[in-house]
Structure 1
Amino acid sequence: MIGVLIFPDFQLLDAAGPISVFEIAQRISGQLPAVRTLAVTPGAVRSSSGVEMFARGIGSSRAIATLIVSGGPGVRAAARCDKTLDFVRASEQRGVRIASVCSGAYILAEAGILDGRRATTHWQRTQHFLKTYPKVKLEPDRIFVRDGNIWSSAGITAGIDLSLAMAAEDFGDEGARKTARQLVLHERRAGGQSQFSSLLELKAPAGRFAPLLSWAREHLDTPLTVDDMAERAGMSSRHFTRAFIAETGTTPSKAVERLRIEAARQRVQSSSEAIERVAQSTGFRDPERMRRAFIRAFGQPPQSLRRAARAG
């Protein structure tokens, strides 16, 4: 049985996406759909869109083997609700597989079940989450993260990717592939793929390191080491690295790689320039190194992106 925890002002797709994945996966496997929505107060629960879902009370959850916690504007109030937190803790103690979608990670973190664990959440919440829950090993680049029996995912549609990965665990890879096809998804994205929006965030940086990132974008063909960037920022390397992570939620090296990936992607998709030349001019140097970076960021190599762009 799959349980989806909702609350007033939850994000509708955070719940509806996983519900649809498991409904289809269960039907494909020959099972009757076994998914229910849960809430502290049973009855109609209004989402942030105004659309309501009917939920059973959390007291009817003993048969739940997987609990998915949705996110949305109401997550902060939900994370302050003792009944919600006690329910999540009790589920974890019973060995229930628990997952969060988007900002639902705040509820898991507030319940303490993410302490010392790897997790992710929506890229826009990275800085606040890091400051609020320093014991969590946040991986802001990831679409979804699994740490033992606890899963977490990035913003909204990443909950579908997380659910498909869970479905693969429950029903096998072929069942997950058939489910993805039924959902008319181009492909099932791996959890290690970067949140593409976090790449876009660095295209128009703000804050104290905005000038530095703009300068780095103009010098991608140079090494751009941490020492180089620290010197440009007028800081020691150690202080620079700590300040940069606190400001941006990522390391200087990861930020430079994002800038290189985005610059390379644009050239790969909009020109016939040799892949080797693109790798050289954007600072990757080695085409294989660029290929691995593209797979991490987009789930496919440069040549595949180029073919898709031309087909489009």
Structure 2
Amino acid sequence: MRKVGFLIYPGYQPMGIAVTAPFEIANLQAARPIYDVRMVSMHGGLVRTSLGFEIMTEPIATGHYDLIVVGASLEEPSAELIELIRATPSFCRRIAATCHGAFVLAEAGLLDGRRATTHWDRAADLRAGYPTVKVDEDRIFISDGPIWTSAGMTAGIDLALALIEQDLGVEATRNVARRLLLYHRRSGGQSQFSALLELEGSSDRIQVVLNYARANLTKRLSVGELADIANLSPRQFSRVFQSETGQTPAKAIERLRLEEARRLLEDSNHPLDVVARMTGFGDRDRMRRALTRTFGKSSRVMPRQPHRDAVTESEPV
């Protein structure tokens, strides 16, 4: 059985406890328990969280762990805790940090020379405070050898699923994700910023249009069609849409297509032609040019460098 320790220390943010759920589900699905999950602290006993309630822990032992997970806290870690983290590679196969927990690993020197991520709002602080760490804030999670880091909050669940996939394979992990009611398991390369989530209209009619677009990305959506759904003329619709979302309809719909294309290229084995059809780009070259324009020639999702192109407002969106 693989021993997993969730390291709890004063000010621990309770959202980190949610990361235990994938390991529990993996145990429930298996013929026998796979993970021995424990809440551990420096000396054991009750540890007060950032919300004021306490978590019962056991003392962390220096016996072998398969994984130790360091969560985020609103309090500075003690020097004693940092020394413990510094020693973990000697008795732990893998070490992970979620959200601001990356700062604990960095202070202990475990991220020196390694790639790492954290919540986007603290990435600049991590880069400034620990210049030897290769910080990439535009990632859901990163693994660099035995050290894993994730972005904030729910990204810790994506990290847990990736760790389980490393242990048990893709199909077992998909089953865990289904049990957790996750729409899809996000890959580590996915951006922390989501146009699918952030793009909203302030009025019902624009929100209806956005919902329709999200559900119909395979279609060659036109401004006229979207205006009809909003019960506005094309001119009125374009003006109201840009006023409420800050983007033209063409740019907004293209960004929704791009994010879905990027997800499919990262999380599936679909050929480029299939992804282009599924996201409404029509052909792979148009999709590749749009991906390059938005994410750059070094985009991780692109198998080879595409050429640049322009998209005009007169084109179908």
The TM-score range, normalised by the shorter chain, is 0.5 to 0.7
* Partner in structure 2 of residue 67 of structure 1: 68
* Partner in structure 2 of residue 243 of structure 1: none
Flag the 1:25–1:198 CA change in 2: closer, same or farther, 3 A. Answer: same
* Partner in structure 1 of residue 129 of structure 2: 132
Aligned length: 225
1:135-189 per-position Cα deviation (integer Å, ceiling 9, x unaligned): 0000110000000000000001100000000001111111111111111111110
Partners of 2:8 and 2:251 lie apart in 1 by 37
* Partner in structure 2 of residue 9 of structure 1: 11
Flag the 1:261–1:185 CA change in 2: closer, same or farther, 3 A. Answer: farther
* Partner in structure 2 of residue 290 of structure 1: 290
Flag the 1:100–1:268 CA change in 2: closer, same or farther, 3 A. Answer: closer
Q: Indicate if the aligned counterparts of 1:3 and 1:61 stay in contact, CA closer than 8 A.
A: no
Q: Which amino acid is 1:115 matched to? A: D
Structure having the larger proportion of residues in helix: 1
Q: Indicate if the aligned counterparts of 1:141 and 1:198 stay in contact, CA closer than 8 A.
A: no
Higher RCO (CA-CA < 8 Å; seq separation 6+) = 1
Partners of 2:4 and 2:46 lie apart in 1 by 19
Q: Indicate if the aligned counterparts of 1:268 and 1:275 stay in contact, CA closer than 8 A.
A: no
* Partner in structure 1 of residue 45 of structure 2: 43
SS in structure 1 at match of 2:55: strand
* Partner in structure 2 of residue 227 of structure 1: none
5 Å matches for 1:25-174?
25-32=26-33, 33-58=35-60, 60-74=61-75, 77-78=76-77, 81-174=78-171
Q: Indicate if the aligned counterparts of 1:10 and 1:47 stay in contact, CA closer than 8 A.
A: yes
Q: Which amino acid is 2:290 matched to? A: M
Flag the 1:134–1:52 CA change in 2: closer, same or farther, 3 A. Answer: same
Q: Do residues 264 (structure 1) and 254 (structure 2) align? A: yes
SS in structure 1 at match of 2:19: helix
* Partner in structure 1 of residue 203 of structure 2: none
Q: CA deviation at 1:192?
A: 0.4
Q: CA deviation at 1:275?
A: 5.0
Partners of 1:125 and 1:8 lie apart in 2 by 20
Partners of 1:112 and 1:135 lie apart in 2 by 9
SS in structure 2 at match of 1:97: strand
1:56-90 per-position Cα deviation (integer Å, ceiling 9, x unaligned): 112x241321000001312xx11xx2221121121
Partners of 1:97 and 1:268 lie apart in 2 by 34
Q: CA deviation at 1:198?
A: 10
1:37-64 per-position Cα deviation (integer Å, ceiling 9, x unaligned): 1112311212212232211112x24132
Q: Indicate if the aligned counterparts of 2:258 and 2:290 stay in contact, CA closer than 8 A.
A: no
SS in structure 2 at match of 1:23: helix
Q: Indicate if the aligned counterparts of 1:11 and 1:73 stay in contact, CA closer than 8 A.
A: yes
Q: Indicate if the aligned counterparts of 1:193 and 1:296 stay in contact, CA closer than 8 A.
A: no
Flag the 1:261–1:93 CA change in 2: closer, same or farther, 3 A. Answer: farther
Q: Which amino acid is 1:97 matched to? A: R
Q: Which amino acid is 2:254 matched to? A: A
Q: Indicate if the aligned counterparts of 1:123 and 1:197 stay in contact, CA closer than 8 A.
A: no
**TM-score, normalised by the number of residues in structure 1:** 0.64
1:99-150 per-position Cα deviation (integer Å, ceiling 9, x unaligned): 0000000000000010000000000001111110110000110000000000
Partners of 2:9 and 2:167 lie apart in 1 by 27
Q: CA deviation at 1:266?
A: 5.6
Q: Do residues 186 (structure 1) and 183 (structure 2) align? A: yes
* Partner in structure 2 of residue 256 of structure 1: none
Q: Indicate if the aligned counterparts of 1:67 and 1:98 stay in contact, CA closer than 8 A.
A: yes
Structure 2 gaps of 5+ residues are 199-249, 260-278, 302-317
SS in structure 2 at match of 1:34: strand
Range moving further from structure 2, 33-42 or 107-116: 33-42
Q: Indicate if the aligned counterparts of 2:96 and 2:148 stay in contact, CA closer than 8 A.
A: yes
**TM-score, normalised by the number of residues in structure 2:** 0.63
Partners of 1:174 and 1:276 lie apart in 2 by 30
Partners of 1:174 and 1:268 lie apart in 2 by 27
**Which one has the largest radius of gyration?**
2
